[in-house]
């Protein structure tokens, strides 16, 4: 006689076979690229802040600590390298991801291409960052310096980490828009400013991309969530009924099992309650999720759980 597959496993297989689940897996894998780009930006900005914050003045910028400043600047170049490399990786990974997931959706691919054109293709900062990666990886490391200015009006010292324009002009690989961007600066370009401006452009673009994906796949995601909700409901029901039927399952073990189906807030509250409150909460879950318990089951549950 063929053994019946438990409902929980049937639903798990249904979930894994759903289009929404497969799409989500691909999106989650791709999101590593955006995560790495964002983290590299954050590390670069934090490193720049080490050199520009007033509280670091004595430690880094005093004459006796020049070697320390040099080490900090070397680390800045390392983080700059990572930031620029991850910017290009994100471009390449996005292209592969879109071709894979939307190969048959010509309307969206056209919309996506137009958005790329509007956002990046004719944007000076975006083109500069792309060319800057070529400069750094295939020509040489850029010349950076910490520039200090005294703001007379409020008598404050302002520091910035700057890229040398003269150094950049040694490179022959700049595209027209990059040259136009560089020409706006006489001597130096603020590294934090240009990195942040590009990061904001990229971040806004991927926020748009994420919103479009939510809309494009709303039916698949809704189907997946319905299956996931059904799985949770079945899991809760099976956990409660196993506790009622199996004398060897303790209430402590039951508590651990039932909290698997709660979010962090619910779980943290649940574990602090007394047994009466927990019992009432579990009954409310049953009512909300339409889990039917016979009177006899409730009495057994009550007796085991509150003793």
pLDDT per residue as tens digits for the range 287-303: 888 888 888 888 888 88
d(CA 301, CA 292): 13
What does the radius of gyration of the chain's CA atoms come to, in whole angstroms? 29
CA distances from 5 to 11, 13, 161, 226, 230 (A): 10, 11, 64, 20, 16
Cβ(126)–Cβ(201) below 8 Å: yes
Query: Torsions phi, psi of 144, nearest 5?
Result: -115, 155
Give yes or no for residue 259 having a pLDDT over 80: yes
pLDDT for 168 equals: 96
The tokens describing 71, both together, are 């080490």
Q: Rounded mean pLDDT of the chain?
A: 90
Cβ(129)–Cβ(237) below 8 Å: no
User: Mind listing the pLDDT tens digit for each residue in 13-59?
Assistant: 999 999 999 999 999 999 999 999 999 999 999 999 988 877 665 66
> Which of 150-154, 177-181, 234-238 bottoms out in mean pLDDT, i.e. has the lowest?
150-154
Query: Torsions phi, psi of 161, nearest 5?
Result: -95, 125
The tokens describing 296, both together, are 């006899």
């Amino acid at each position: 006689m063929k053994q019946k597959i438990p409902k929980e496993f049937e639903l798990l297989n249904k979930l894994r076979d759903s289009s929404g689940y497969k799409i989500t897996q691909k999106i989650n894998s791709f999101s590593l690229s955006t995560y790495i780009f964002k983290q590299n930006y954050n590390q670069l900005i934090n490193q720049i802040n080490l050199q520009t914050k007033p509280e670091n003045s004595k430690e880094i910028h005093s004459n006796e600590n020049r070697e320390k400043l040099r080490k900090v600047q070397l680390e800045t170049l390392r983080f700059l390298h990572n930031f620029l490399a991850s910017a290009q990786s994100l471009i390449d990974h996005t292209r592969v991801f879109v071709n894979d997931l939307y190969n048959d959706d010509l309307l969206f691919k056209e919309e996506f291409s137009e958005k790329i054109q509007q956002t990046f293709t004719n944007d000076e900062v975006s083109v500069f960052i792309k060319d800057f990666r070529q400069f750094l990886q295939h020509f040489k490391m850029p010349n950076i310096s910490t520039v200090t200015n005294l703001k007379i009006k409020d008598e404050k010292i302002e520091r910035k980490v700057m890229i040398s324009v003269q150094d950049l002009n040694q490179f022959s690989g700049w595209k027209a828009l990059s040259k136009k961007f560089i020409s706006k600066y006489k001597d130096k370009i603020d590294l934090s400013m240009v990195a942040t401006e590009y990061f904001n452009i990229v971040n806004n673009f991927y926020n748009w991309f994420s919103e479009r994906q939510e809309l494009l796949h709303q039916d698949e995601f809704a189907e997946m969530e319905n299956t996931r909700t059904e799985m949770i409901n079945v899991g809760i029901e099976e956990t409660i009924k196993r506790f009622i039927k199996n004398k060897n399952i303790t209430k402590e073990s039951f508590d651990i099992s039932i909290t698997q189906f709660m979010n962090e807030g619910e779980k943290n509250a649940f574990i602090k309650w007394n047994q009466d409150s927990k019992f009432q909460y579990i009954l409310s879950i049953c009512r909300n999720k339409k889990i039917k318990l016979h009177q006899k089951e409730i009495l057994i549950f009550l007796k085991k759980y509150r003793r």
